[in-house]
């Protein structure tokens, strides 16, 4: 019986590891969608109009400038999520004092009842797979095979976990993806409607098919990303992750909720100049220990003092 259980656990682990390979394919898929969209907008439809002159050229120029600016921000945010470590538990991490964990902490649950713990901190969770204690808001990712600080979820689209250090970049990726796909959908709408008209449509069959495909893909992504964006905006407003959303409903007061403004600043930083780019100011980088959630606050308002 024990042997069967071990084999089952091993198979599940192998399945989770295989998801990383799927994620690599998803990156190519993202770049493929970007390529099809770029060809349809720039090469096929709006690029050639620049030489026509008149109002159409001005409209085409405006669309192309906005499209390229948003596309650069999208790709910058996307690869920042892909290549940024979401947050790793430091080796031999320990809480600061014996009084930094209480029975009111919503993240202490039944998962520690049968696990080894530090005798000095009986309420601290312990990860059996990583063989180490877990800081608050930290969860183990079976795909990455490690504990991730303030883990939100593992995203196969970016082949990475979304956690404390790249959550802002992930939100910006959703934001700019929505803007780009909405712009492309509006820009190609008239060309899409022309497919169903009785008149002759200029262009080769390949360019027409690319335009049709680009419109359908971008409209579908715009609608789906909008739902995710709204969900994550509500999570940021409450200082909650996707994993913590259920735990938050079980506690009368969520200890990490500092108010919408400070909740937003914990993710995006204090410097407004950096809010819409995937980077942090030097001042915000100095606050990273608090942002990562490596410390157990003795009072719920200590995080507010950091930000």
End-to-end CA distance of the chain: 52
Residue in the block written with tokens 């998803």? 26
- Helices in 195-255 by DSSP H: which ranges? 205-237, 244-249
- 130 given a catalytic annotation: no
For 270, counting Cβ atoms within 10 Å of its Cβ (0-12 exposed, 13-18 middle, 19+ buried), the class is middle
- 264 is written with which tokens? 């937003």
User: Is the distance from CB of 233 to CB of 63 less than 8 angstroms?
Assistant: no
> Could you give the CA distance from residue 267 to residue 75 in angstroms, rounded to a whole number?
20
Could you give the dihedral angle defined by the CA atoms of residues 148, 151, 153 and 155, in that order, rounded to the nearest 10 degrees? Answer: -50
> Could you give the CA distance from residue 44 to residue 280 in angstroms, rounded to a whole number?
38
> Could you give the CA distance from residue 19 to residue 15 in angstroms, rounded to a whole number?
7
Residues pairing with 153 in the sheet: 162
Set 138, 141, 155, 161: catalytic member: 155
- Which residues does the annotation mark as catalytic? 155
């Amino acid at each position: 019986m024990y042997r069967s259980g071990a084999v089952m656990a091993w198979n599940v682990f192998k399945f989770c590891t295989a998801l990383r390979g799927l994620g690599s394919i998803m990156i190519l898929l993202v770049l493929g969608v970007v390529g099809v969209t770029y060809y349809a907008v720039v090469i096929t439809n709006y690029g050639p109009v620049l030489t026509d002159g008149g109002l159409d050229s001005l409209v085409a120029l405006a669309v192309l400038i906005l499209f390229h600016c948003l596309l650069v921000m999208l790709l910058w945010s996307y690869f920042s999520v892909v290549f940024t470590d979401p947050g790793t538990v430091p080796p031999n991490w320990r809480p600061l004092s014996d009084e930094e964990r209480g029975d009111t902490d919503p993240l202490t649950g039944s998962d520690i009842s049968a696990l080894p713990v530090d005798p000095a901190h009986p309420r601290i969770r312990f990860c059996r797979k990583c063989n180490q204690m877990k800081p608050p808001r930290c969860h183990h990712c079976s795909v990455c095979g490690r504990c991730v600080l303030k883990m939100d979820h593992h995203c196969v689209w970016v082949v990475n976990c979304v956690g404390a250090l790249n959550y802002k970049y992930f939100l910006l990726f959703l934001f700019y993806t929505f803007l780009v796909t909405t712009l492309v959908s509006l820009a190609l709408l008239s060309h899409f409607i022309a497919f169903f008209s009785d008149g002759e449509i200029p262009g080769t069959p390949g360019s027409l098919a690319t335009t049709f495909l680009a419109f359908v893909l971008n409209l579908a992504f715009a609608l789906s990303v909008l739902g995710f964006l709204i969900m994550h905006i509500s999570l940021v407003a409450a200082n909650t992750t996707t994993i913590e959303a259920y735990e938050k409903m079980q506690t009368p007061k969520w200890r990490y909720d500092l108010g919408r403004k400070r909740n937003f600043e914990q993710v995006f930083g204090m410097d407004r100049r950096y809010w819409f780019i995937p980077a942090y100011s030097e001042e915000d980088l100095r606050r990273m220990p608090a942002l990562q959630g490596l410390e157990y606050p003795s009072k719920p308002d200590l995080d507010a003092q950091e930000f």
